[in-house]
Amino acid sequence: MTRVSTWTPPEAEERGWTIERHILEGQRSSPGATGELTSLLQQITLCSKIIASRVNMAGLAGDLGLTGQTNVQGEEVQKLDDFANQTLIRTLSRGGHCCMLGSEEEEDPIPVPSGYPSGKYAVLFDPLDGSSNIDVNVSIGTIFSVHERVSEAGGAGELRDLLQGGTRQVAAGYVIYGSSTMLVYTTGAGVHGFSLDPAVGEFFLSHLDIKIPERGKIYSVNEGNSARWEQPVRSWVQWLKSDAPEQKRPYSHRYVGSLVADFHRTLLKGGVFAYPADNKNRRGKLRLMYEAAPIAMLAEQAGGAASTGVEPIMGLEPENLHQRVPLYVGSKQDVRDAEGFLGTND
Ligand code: AFP
């Protein structure tokens, strides 16, 4: 169940709030809140500052390039991927608020080391999404998803603490390392964005209660895969590109190849991002637990939608930690159009 909060977003004059203050205000107006989620989010914020600082210095610090290893997805691990992964694991597993972690870089769930308390939350993360863009200075990001544990309090965490459906997320967010570093998150009370002031080392509220436009004019998809798509996907993209000025088509095309960057643009400007299933990736390429589910929570909280093309991402019950899923996310009307072509929306 999505956690209900009575908290309403701050007024425009509160735009200078730090992220700490914003999270704390949310806690104060959530009946029954213990402060643990607040503290966990602060730990994630700290990790994102450490990662941002290393990303910014990567060329100078010799942190570009590969480690020589491959991850669970069979992809080559970049040095920065590894750094981000280790930063999150070290901080969260020993921070007292988690009982179990899941990382896109690790095959198995990550337990709390012995001697450390087992906390109330299970956190999943993609430490550095879009890592093929690292070496060319294109935006990359960190994505996270937080669930309340379902196993017995105080004991060791279990796989089922991580394997929960999207509607059970209590928080989700991402950090984008772009022309500026931004952290965007939701705890079920809207979506809020914070920009890092590197001189102060602090995130300040810059994007209040973000809402995705009902319909956009940009589509974002890797069209290099079009020969492998099913006909309905091809027809949908062809329709977006067709000349129909009275229906505000053709749409413009933008594709970064980092989900965080493509979604961030979609969140702010509207339109649709898609990574469809194709005849190479029958279940799509993106990962449900590390990418699609947290992005779907943010999209819905911002008034948008996220779908596999046939059903809402948030309604999926996960089968395993690394399962993949097709994703259509963004403005509600644009996602409905895609579903119409894929046969689910009469
Ligand atoms: P990498 O982290 O391997 O670069 O993958 C990024 C990603 O998971 C997601 O962030 C992108 O939207 C998508 O893959 C890009 O995939 P293509 O390169 O196949 O378009």
Distance 256 CA to ligand 1 centre (A): 9
CA distance 43 to 234: 43
The confidence score (pLDDT) of residue 184 equals 97
pLDDT < 50: residue spans in the chain: 1-7, 346
Please report, as a single letter, which amino acid is at residue 178: G
Residues 262/272, Cβ–Cβ less than 8 Å: no
Q: Is 257 in the pocket of ligand 1 (CB under 6 A)?
A: yes
**What was the pLDDT predicted at 168?**
98
CA of 187 to the centre of ligand 1 (A): 26
Instruction: Say what the pLDDT of residue 260 is.
Output: 98
Tell me the backbone φ, ψ of residue 332, rounded to 5 degrees.
-55, -50
Query: Which residue in this structure is represented by tokens 């088509």?
Result: 249
pLDDT score recorded for residue 71: 73
Sign of CA dihedral 74, 70, 144, 53: negative
Alpha carbon 324 to its chain's center: 14
**pLDDT reported for residue 24:** 84
Nearest CA to ligand 1 atom 15: 257
Token pair of 139, please?
A: 């935006």
67-94 pLDDT, tens digit each = 677 776 677 777 899 999 999 999 999 9
Nearest-angstrom CA–CA distance, 169 and 153 = 18
Tell me, what's the pLDDT at 14? 67
- Residue 130 CA to ligand 1 centre (angstroms): 5
pLDDT confidence of residue 1: 41
Give the model's pLDDT for residue 5. Answer: 43
